[in-house]
Amino acid sequence: MQKYDFSKIKVLIVGDVMLDQYLWGNVGRISPEAPVPVVNITETRMVPGGAANVANNVASLEGEVMLLGLIGADINGQQLKSLLTERSIKHDLITSGKPTISKIRIIGNKQQMIRLDYEETTPPDADLTDALINKINTHINNYDIVVLSDYNKGTCTPEICRHLITSAKSNNIPVIIDPKGKNWDKYRGATLVTPNMKELNDLTEMEIMNDDTSLEKHLPDLFIKLGFENLLITRSEKGMSLFDGQALEHFPTMAREVYDVSGAGDTVIAALTLGIASGYSLRDAVEFANIAAGIVVGKIGTVPIQKSDLYRDLHLSYNKIISPDDIKTVNESLKKENKKIVFTNGCFDILHIGHVKYLEKAKELGDILILGLNTDNSVRRLKGEDRPVNKEDDRAAVLAGLSSVDYIVKFDDDTPLNLIKSIKPDFLVKGGDYTIENVIGGEFAGQVVLIDFVEGYSTSRIIKKLRNSND
């Protein structure tokens, strides 16, 4: 898989923009007025939804985005524009006579209780259509790839869709479609269309089962009929299936546990778009999007994918073990997310309860614990030719199994000074045998913290005991 630097990718998104509102609370009783739960609201949150959530996902992955669509002359429209501006999402939205599409979700005890929708789904009139077409003409040549995010709320009329696809293709710009409804003729000629199973069945008015055999039977004929270059079916817990006109390939889901599928399709579109525009093969772009979707469904609410989450899930050979170059990128993303970063280091040659307790206490100081691990060469210079007992890959793999450790970075120097200087952690942690003054790299950390070791445990003591038992 390629590097994940999308900072130079420019994405134009056109579609149904929305405002998603979440009211979080606790449920402790049933209302005396009606047989319904009473939710005591403790938190409210507003986030971009629909096409605006696609833009939010692109921006979270550090791509540049321009969002086009319709809003109402109301407070929800102003709130949405403010949210987009806060996230550095460029937008050129047109004010219409309809209300801003809004969804309010009430969540009690981490379970969605009810959803309230505000919308009018009539298509835009001729003046609004002309205005949106003019916006497309103004921006399209400045972008690498185009996304049409159709939620069947009225914005993506056949006229708008045909104009967008024709304009993009005439400029050799790929077009990715998130479809809705039964009129897919308006998407003809798109580079990639990404329906879920329900959308596929709505279109065909058939009941194609969510299994490999059924898709293999129906997709070839459907593909020829629709006239797309590629078709990607998102299949919920079954993952995804890609058909390129020649072969059908299945991608099992990457989700560990599903809490909420809200916005997962938007994450798929954003990741696919950035991957394709970056030059990934279509297969690699789908794998990338599949992993991204697996992350966001493990969170509650419409949540954009974060770059640091991707790094944690995309790295092969123990997800937590990454290179010094990659930790720089991860660190930048973590800081943008306002995560408190804790750093510690050591040889961790023979892992024991003292190490485990020490690392648990270190993690409690912040959100993310980065562990600098001495390489074998570094350990030999510090401890002697008979050390380490365990090789660096084995030591890293064992440490990766600890829930307290988020990232492991090997370093070959005698000290982690360069690593600390690069990371600039909020907390630099060392053992209680140090003093604040002699902790290397302390000047590059927000705070130096000393944690006492568990009495009676040390690697040297374990090695000595083992040697004595063999004498």
Catalytically active residues are 266
H-helix or E-strand spanning residue 132: helix 126-139
How far CA 244 is from CA of 145, 156, 230, in Å, comes to: 19, 25, 5
Round to whole Å and give the CA distance between 60 and 254: 20
Radius of gyration over every alpha carbon of the chain, rounded to an integer in angstroms: 26
Q: Which two tokens stand for residue 274?
A: 């950035």
Q: Which two tokens stand for residue 294?
A: 């697996």
Q: Which residues contact 390 (CB under 8 A, 6 or more apart)?
A: 349, 350, 398
Round to whole Å and give the CA distance between 73 and 69: 13
Q: Which two tokens stand for residue 171?
A: 């400029």
The residues facing 17 across adjacent strands are 50
Round to whole Å and give the CA distance between 409 and 366: 18
Q: How many CB atoms lie within 10 A of CB 178?
A: 28
Round to whole Å and give the CA distance between 306 and 333: 8
